[in-house]
Amino acid sequence: QDAGHHAGRIQVYESGRDIALQRQVQLIRDLRRAAQQDELLLHYQPKLDLRDRTKIQAEGLLRWQHPQLGMISPGEFIPLAERTGSIQLLSAWVIEEGVRQLQHWRTLGFSVQLSLNISTEDLLDTELPARVGELLAHHDVPGSQLTFEITESGVMLNPTVALQVLHGLREKDICLSVDDFGTGYSSLTQLKRMPVQELKIDQAFIRDLHETSEDAMIVRSTIEMSHSLGLTVVAEGVELQRSLDLLERWNCDSVQGYLISRPLPVQAFEAWMQRPSSSPNSLVH
Question: Are the beta carbons of 150 and 177 closer than 8 angstroms?
Answer: yes
- At 181, give phi and psi (nearest 5°): -65, 140
Residue (74 or 280) nearer to ligand C2E, CB:
74
Q: What beta strand segments (E) does 157-219 contain?
A: 175-181, 198-201
What distance in Å separates the CA atoms of residue 171 and residue 36, rounded to the nearest whole number?
30
Closest CA to 136 of 173, 88, 164: 173
What counts of helices (H) and strands (E) characterise the chain?
12, 9
For ligand C2E, what does the binding mask look like between residues 191 and 210, x meaning CB under 6 A?
------------x-------
- Output 77 or 105, the one with its CB closest to ligand C2E: 77
Binding-site ranges for Mg ion (CB under 5 A): 117, 149, 179-180
First vs last Cα of the chain: how many Å apart? 51
Member of 34, 113, 263, 269 binding ligand C2E (CB under 6 A): 263
Among 97, 152, 180, 198, binds ligand C2E (CB under 6 A): 180
Which amino acid is located at 39 in the chain? Answer: E
Looking at 113, 119, 147, 222, which residue binds ligand C2E (CB under 6 A)?
Answer: 119
Which listed option, ligand C2E, Mg ion, none, makes contact with residue 119 (CB within 5 to 8 Å by class)? Answer: ligand C2E
CA 123 to chain centre: 14
Instruction: Verify binding: residue 150, ligand C2E, rule CB under 6 A.
Output: no
With CB under 6 A as the contact rule, the residue among 61, 99, 165, 264 that binds ligand C2E is: 61
Stretch binding ligand C2E (CB under 6 A), from 10-18, 71-79, 124-132, 134-142: 71-79
User: Is residue 117 involved in binding ligand C2E (CB under 6 A)?
Assistant: yes
Considering the rule CB under 6 A, would residue 78 count as an interface residue with ligand C2E? yes
Strands (E) located in 67-129: 70-72, 112-117
Interface with ligand C2E (CB under 6 A), residue from 16, 70, 75, 109: 75
Alpha carbon separation from 51 to 121, 183, 224 (Å, rounded):
34, 27, 16
Binding site for ligand C2E (CB under 6 A): 45, 61-62, 73-75, 78, 94, 117-119, 149, 179-180, 203, 236-239, 256-258, 263
